Amino acid sequence: MEKTLRTELKDGYAILTLNRPEVRNALNTDMLSQLADALAHLDCDPGIRTVVLTGADGNFASGADLGEIADKTALDGVHDPRLRSWATIAKYRMPLIAAVEGYCLGGGFELAQRCDLIVAAQNAIFGQPEIRLGLIPGAGGIQRLATSIGKAWAMRLVLTGETMTGEEAFDRGLASHKTVPGEALQFANELAAKLAKGAPLAQQFAKQAVLAALEKPEGFDLERRSFELLLSTEDKAVGIAAFRAKRKPEFKGR
């Protein structure tokens, strides 16, 4: 397995860096598995009070690895090994901070949304462009967007595939903090160091309480089932082929 995740331990917190810069840190199965395993390990370390998640070489994560999705069917989606990784990431008990520079799209955006705090550079690019591939987000992106920025903007992003900057993400309540370009990780480190000095049990319960108020299981289940069904459509094949050929897709509704 290629080492696509870098781990750095600090005083009271850790930094996990997505490390596939040649593809703008696109999320593949191995990377998600390494991330999940790292968080599970850190969750058992009482000396680590929070984790900063970032991406190498100026991008957070440009989306899912299309090479893994192109030939997947609905049945493959049901048995997708990434589901275990997403579930493990969601179980991390302490505060999880995303430091976002550059592209944060598709599955990368869903990963950032699973973090408790998002520190966004003003020129970061957030978006759920799956609709352009004949798909929808499949890891909770729609549910979390609707909660964080409301129906109008959630519909706009997921139906059109448009993007928003870090500045816009902060203004609309998606990002918790904003910084000038190039300083998201430094800001996130300072925030993590501050949180590491807090009361860890209280932080765990506070995180659980906020998530319990916002996340409804039935919505996540519907989103995932819909994503799985779309994997077997002709439109998905058309969308991915058009993306790779850098041309506009002609969807048929099949």
Handedness of CA 69, 133, 32, 203 (dihedral sign): negative
Identify the active-site residue in 63, 77, 107, 127. Answer: 107
Smallest CA-to-CA distance from 43 within 90, 5, 11, 82 is with 90
Distance (Å, whole) CA 145 – CA 126: 11
250 is catalytic: no
Smallest CA-to-CA distance from 16 within 25, 27, 5 is with 5
Distance (Å, whole) CA 254 – CA 23: 30
199 is catalytic: no
Identify the active-site residue in 63, 108, 110, 228. Answer: 110
Residue 42 contacts residue 48 (beta carbons within 8 Å):
yes
Q: What is the DSSP string of 16-64?
A: EEE--GGGTT-B-HHHHHHHHHHHHHHHT-TT--EEEEEEGGG-SB--B
Identify the active-site residue in 14, 36, 64, 124. Answer: 64
162 is catalytic: no
| Residue 8 backbone dihedrals phi, psi, to 5 degrees | -130, 125
Identify the active-site residue in 38, 63, 127, 130. Answer: 130
> Which distant-in-sequence residues (6+ apart) come within 8 Å of 143 by Cβ?
215, 216, 219, 220, 223
Smallest CA-to-CA distance from 118 within 78, 60, 182 is with 60
Strands (E), 76-182: 96-100, 103-105, 117-121, 125-127, 163-165, 177-179
130 is catalytic: yes
Which residues are marked as active site? Answer: 64, 107, 110, 130
